[in-house]
Amino acid sequence: MAERLTLRNVYLYLVCLVALVISIFATVQLVRGVVSLAYPDPGYGYVGDPVLDDETERELAEQAVESQRRFEVLEVVTAGTTLLIAGPLYAYHWRRVQRERTAAGPEVVPTA
């Protein structure tokens, strides 16, 4: 006997799908942010500029690195928060799907 597709089942599966996709993107964003924090971009545009003196050039380079570090920390926090929300949301709905499947009884697979 095949499992009937109800509106509730479709909802549960769609929430699981969306939460899983969001989790995948958040994980990629988290890894990218951590790697960018470990290996920051060296910066561009100020080294060897004839208009700027050495002290100003150094300060602008430090500000660029600090700005990038702040941006990457915010990216890591955003990705972590997204995972903290999407992960349990997925787990809750997936458990509901599994509970409803077991409550419906074992699925009988016809043999040829």
pTM of the model: 0.73
pLDDT band for position 5 (cuts 50, 70, 90): confident
Query: What is the residue-wise DSSP string for 30-77?
Result: HHHHHHHHHS-----S-TT-TTS-HHHHHHHHHHHHHHHHHHHHHHHH
Domain boundaries, given as residue ranges, for the chain: 16-103
Give the separation between CA 20 and CA 23, rounded to whole angstroms: 5
- Per residue in 49-102, pLDDT (tens digit) is 667 777 888 888 888 888 889 999 999 999 999 999 999 999 999 999 989 888
User: What's residue 17's pLDDT?
Assistant: 97
Out of 17-26, 27-36, 94-103, which region has the weakest mean confidence (pLDDT)? 94-103
Q: Tell me, what's the pLDDT at 1?
A: 42
